[in-house]
Copies of this chain bind each other. A is one copy, B any other.
Amino acid sequence: MSPIKFTIEKELSGTLARAGVITTPHGDIQTPAFVTVGTKATVKALTPEHVKGLGAQVVLANTYHLYLEPGEKIMREAGGLHNFMNWQGPTMTDSGGFQVFSLGAAFNAKVGKLSKVAQEEMTIPEEVDEEDKAGKLAKIDEDGVTFKSYKDGSEHRFTPERSIEIQHAIGADMIFVFDECTSPMASYEYQRKAMERTHRWAKRCLEFHEESKLQNEKQGLFGIVQGGRHRDLREESARVLGAMDFAGYGIGGSFDKDDMDKAVGWVNAILPKEKPRHLLGIGEPIDLFGAVENGCDLFDCVAPTRMARNGSLHTSDGRININNARFASDFGPIDSACDCYTCKNYTRAYLSHLFRSHEMLAGTLASVHNLHFIISLVEKMRTAIFDGTFEQLKTEFIAQYYKK
């Protein structure tokens, strides 16, 4: 019996949007909600108090990264992710599928470039669109995937069961099935083949998870809908997985930016309404509006924190690069409409100084701001669903943010 419950509190007529509450063993999540990424059991540059203070409700860690370092044994002995990282709120882990394919490939393909990115956080799969090609890099077979560590080239193997086993050791409240992530450039035939295998793997994950009665009561398993940009595949994937008793659903894979809203809509029109839906890897404001409107409840993305560490900061009037010379003597806050810790206490001039001086506090203050900006934007969408003002919020926000 999954410990994850979802209650819809309000639906926005004429759209698929809904506001609700996800109940987890570590507290509730008011949805729609942006999920903060803490890849290696830490939200980069922030303490858990910062994370909580900026309004984050839930943290997503990464199975692939935690499997390689510190390893599942340490995660288990530590009493799981919550204890290890000192975050007592709700948590998730992704299954490692995306990383196994993208980083496993990267190691052989372009280790120099990609393993640097990987060290920092994560990357986008390149040219792993055909099994033939992927076969040379991360070897896929019906049972699982053999891949090389991006850290030292050592060989490892994930199967659906192993991924779930590792996620049991990590112990997040919400976990994901092990799926095959295809490239948006993959052929229709390959997308179908990969999707069908992903469905078989999803079933194996679910069975393995349900067999562990103890973990099944502590952790909820999410399926992941695949199918690329093809409507028939997306709908088939939503039907097949929707018929299995998952605690919730991830929507994975790459879409064309322009097709994303539509594709999400196809999927969410079919997925069981009473289960939460997590759109994986989305963090751009306009995409968040589209995803909420089309029935998604959760989103995660490394963009707010990664951008922050590079000095790219969200404001109501669009993004600014704090390294720009004009900010060195600007004594206003990053965004005068923002009430985050950084905007209440520090000026653009100070941030600018910290970035130019390569001070660690730069990344901390910028991450607090960017995460707060995105998290509170999604909170505003939630409020607007209740108030029936979603369309107005969307129109006004987008006009101001993207005006330039």
B residues less than 8 Å from A77 (CB atoms): 329, 331, 349
Which residues of A (325-371) have their CB < 8 Å from a CB of B?
328-329, 331, 345-347, 349-350, 352-354, 356-361, 363-365
Query: Does B42 contact A359, Cβ atoms closer than 8 Å?
Result: yes
Query: Does A74 contact B353, Cβ atoms closer than 8 Å?
Result: yes
Cβ of A386 under 8 Å from chain B:
no
**Would you give the shortest CB distance from A30 to chain B, in whole angstroms?**
26
- In the assembly, how many copies of this chain are there? 2
Query: Does B44 contact A356, Cβ atoms closer than 8 Å?
Result: no
- A69 interface neighbour in B44, B85, B353, Cβ under 8 Å: B353
Q: Which 9 A-B pairs have the closest CB atoms?
A: A45-B360, A70-B353, A86-B345, A42-B361, A40-B357, A42-B359, A84-B350, A360-B360, A69-B357
B residues less than 8 Å from A50 (CB atoms): 47
B residues less than 8 Å from A85 (CB atoms): 350
Q: Which of A44, A84, A352 has the most CB of B within 10 A?
A: A84
- A44 interface neighbour in B41, B70, B353, B360, Cβ under 8 Å: B360
B residues less than 8 Å from A365 (CB atoms): 47
Cβ of A389 under 8 Å from chain B:
no
**Would you give the shortest CB distance from A103 to chain B, in whole angstroms?**
15
Query: Does B44 contact A359, Cβ atoms closer than 8 Å?
Result: yes
B residues less than 8 Å from A345 (CB atoms): 86
Cβ of A7 under 8 Å from chain B:
no
Interface residues of A (CB under 8 A from B): 40-42, 44-47, 50, 69-70, 73-74, 77-78, 84-86, 119, 328-329, 331, 345-347, 349-350, 352-354, 356-361, 363-365
Q: How far is it, in angstroms, between the C-alpha of A219 and the C-alpha of B329 when the chains are bound? A: 25
Q: How far is it, in angstroms, between the C-alpha of A67 and the C-alpha of B23 when the chains are bound? A: 53
A40 and B360 in contact, given A331-B77, A345-B86 (Cβ under 8 angstroms) = no
**Would you give the shortest CB distance from A364 to chain B, in whole angstroms?**
7
- A70 interface neighbour in B41, B346, B349, Cβ under 8 Å: B349
B residues less than 8 Å from A331 (CB atoms): 77-78
- A361 interface neighbour in B46, B347, B354, Cβ under 8 Å: B46
B residues less than 8 Å from A354 (CB atoms): 40, 42
**Would you give the shortest CB distance from A338 to chain B, in whole angstroms?**
16
